[in-house]
Amino acid sequence: MTPARRDAASSDRTTILRERARVLARPTEQSPVAETVLEVLEFRLAQERYAVETRYVREVAPLKDLTPLPCTPSFVPGIVNVRGRIVPVFDLKKLFDLPDEGLTDLHRIIIVRDHNLELGLLADVSLGVRSIPLSSLQPSLPTLTGIRGDYLKGVTAERLVVLDLASLLADPRIIVNEDVEG
């Protein structure tokens, strides 16, 4: 390669590198921030729709062989054996003072877990998993009073009640620690 040709090639490389540097030095355009969404498992309790975040859900199982437990609050109808694990079952309808129409073979148990606590939530029917934008959650509805309001994360425009499962599982009122006198 001749010296003149070498200088021309070097000049072309320098021009290309300067153009790349100019493009890279441009301020970046602000891209819209991705909206935070919650992935929830939707279920029905007494004709109302509820949801819990899927990060807490281990599985959904059919209600089979519910064994009643003595000396437990009315919202703990019993325990179930799910693949060798004994899981206490909570009836949110009783905890939330919702109408109860009895148990059927359509009922499901939503097994949830947070840290060391695992329990099953009794649901009339499981409706599936969906994503909802966090910004679409409203603080509350006037009809959600009492203990339901204590465990509320928010309500969507379609009246889907999203429960704050972390609050529910951390509440000392749900821990059964009763001694039976003999």
Per-residue pLDDT of the chain (182 residues; tens, 9 = 90+): 666 666 666 778 888 888 888 877 777 665 455 568 999 999 999 888 999 999 999 999 998 889 998 888 888 999 999 989 999 999 988 888 888 777 766 789 999 998 888 999 999 999 999 999 988 888 766 655 555 567 888 899 898 999 999 888 888 777 766 655 65
What's residue 15's pLDDT? 87
pTM over 0.75: no
**3-state class (DSSP) for residue 114:** strand
Q: Would you give the distance in Å from CA 149 to the centre of its chain?
A: 17
What's residue 148's pLDDT? 59
Determine the Cα–Cα distance for residues 106 and 125; give it in Å rounded to an integer: 6
Alpha-carbon distances of 172 from 13, 34, 77, 177, 179, rounded to whole Å: 70, 36, 18, 10, 16
What's residue 180's pLDDT? 55
What's residue 144's pLDDT? 54
Determine the Cα–Cα distance for residues 136 and 156; give it in Å rounded to an integer: 6
Q: Pick the closest to residue 60 from 46, 32, 40, 74 (CA basis).
A: 40
What's residue 146's pLDDT? 59
Determine the Cα–Cα distance for residues 103 and 88; give it in Å rounded to an integer: 16
What's residue 61's pLDDT? 92
- Contact in structure between 137 and 155 (CB atoms under 8 Å): yes
Query: Domains in the chain, please, with CATH?
Result: 37-174 (2.40.50.180)
What's residue 176's pLDDT? 67
